[in-house]
Structure 1
Amino acid sequence: MSDDKPQRRRSTRAVRRLVLEIVGWVLVAGGIAALVLPGPGLLLLVAGLAVLSEQYEWAERRLEPVKVMAYKAAADGVQTWPRIIASCTGALALAAVGVVWGIRPDPPAWWSLDDDWWLLGGWGTGATLILSACIALGFIVYSFRTFRGVEDPEGAAERKALDED
C-alpha cells in the first residue's frame, strides 16, 4: 500500500502538467489568432506564455517582451481621444456582432450556401464575441486609468510590466 502513494503523486503531477500544457497552448494559439481576428490577442498570448513558463524556460524568456508589448499597446491606445473612441466603438461593435450572431437572423438573399452554414455556432460564438468585447472594454478602462495623462507612457508601460514580476 505504501507504494501506491508515490505512484498516485506521479500520476497527479503528470495530469496537472498535461492540463497546464493544453491550457497554455490553447491560450497561445487563441492569442495568435486574436492578433488578426477580433479579440484580446496580446492578453491571451501573455496568459498562455505565463502558464507555459511554469514548465518551459523558452516560454519564460518570451513572456517579458510580449508583456511589455501588451502594456505599450495599452498605453499607446489611450493617448488621444480619437483612439479611445475608436477602441470603444470597435469593442461595442464586436458586442453587437455577438448579439446578432446569437440571434441568428435568417440568411440574406445573397447567401449561396446552405442555410445551416449561416452564422455557425449560434450563441456559443456570439457569447465568445461578447466576452471578448467586455474584456476589451475592461482593458480600455484599465489602460485609461493607468496610462492616460502620463508624461512618458512607453516608459510607464515598461515599468508596469517589469514591476509585476
Structure 2
Amino acid sequence: MFRRSGAALKRIGLEVLGWGLVVLGLAALVLPGPGLLLLLLGLLVLSQQYAWAQRWVEPVKRRALRTADDAVSTWPRLALSVLSVLVVAGVGVLWGIRPPAPGWWPVDDRFWLFGGWATGGTVLGSAVLALVLLVWSWWRHRRHGPVARV
C-alpha cells in the first residue's frame, strides 16, 4: 500500500513540477527570463507521463538551441545580448534600492517598485541565469558552429 501511495505522490510531484515549469516558460516567453529553456524542462518532466509532451520535446529543443545560437551568431548580436543582460541586472538593482517614485508616477507611491530586494533579487537572478546561458551559447556556437536549420 505504501508503494502505491509513494508512486502516486511521485507522479503528482512530477505533474506539479512539469506544469509549473511549462507555465513559467510560457510566461517567460513574453517576460524577461529563459522561456524556451523553462518550457523545455517542463516538457521533459511531463514527457515521462505523456506521449504528447514527448512529441514536443525535440521541436522545442531545436527552437531553443537555434534561438541561443542566434543571440551569439555575430559580434553585434552578442554585444546587444550582453547589453540586455546588463540592463536587466540594472533594473534588478534599481528595484532593490527602491528610489523615490518620480513625479510622473500616476498612482500612490507605495505601488512604486513594490517588493524591494525580494523582487529585485529575482530579476538579478534572471540576469545571472541569462548571462550563464549566454556564455554557454557562445561557447557552444564557437565549438560546434551554427545550429542547422531544419
Normalised to the residue count of structure 2, the TM-score between the two structures is 0.92
- Taking the aligned partners of 2:116 and 2:19, their CA distance within structure 1 comes to 25
- Taking the aligned partners of 1:100 and 1:122, their CA distance within structure 2 comes to 9
CA RMSD of aligned residues (A): 1.7
CA offsets, 1:108-140, max 9 Å, x none?
A: 112121222111222222111111111111111
Match for 1:122 among 116, 124, 142?
116
SS at match of 1:107: coil
Alpha-carbon shift at residue 150 of structure 1 (Å) = 5.2
The equivalent residue for 1:34 is 28
Q: What residue ranges of structure 1 are gaps of 5+ in the alignment?
A: 1-6, 159-165
Which has the larger Rg? Answer: 1
- Taking the aligned partners of 1:21 and 1:124, their CA distance within structure 2 comes to 27
- Taking the aligned partners of 1:149 and 1:20, their CA distance within structure 2 comes to 34
Match for 1:80 among 48, 68, 74?
74
- Taking the aligned partners of 1:145 and 1:102, their CA distance within structure 2 comes to 32
The equivalent residue for 2:58 is 64
Segments ≥4 residues shifted beyond 6 Å: none
Number of equivalences? 150
Contact 1:77–1:84 (Cα < 8 Å) also in 2:
yes
The equivalent residue for 1:132 is 126
Q: Which moved more, 1:98-107 or 1:116-125?
A: 116-125
Aligned pairs for 1:1-40 within 5 A: 7-40=1-34
The equivalent residue for 1:147 is 141
Q: What residue ranges of structure 2 are gaps of 5+ in the alignment?
A: none
Give the aligned residue type for 1:55: Q
Normalised to the residue count of structure 1, the TM-score between the two structures is 0.84
Q: Which moved more, 1:115-124 or 1:58-67?
A: 115-124
Q: Which moved more, 1:63-72 or 1:99-108?
A: 99-108
Alpha-carbon shift at residue 149 of structure 1 (Å) = 7.1
The equivalent residue for 2:89 is 95
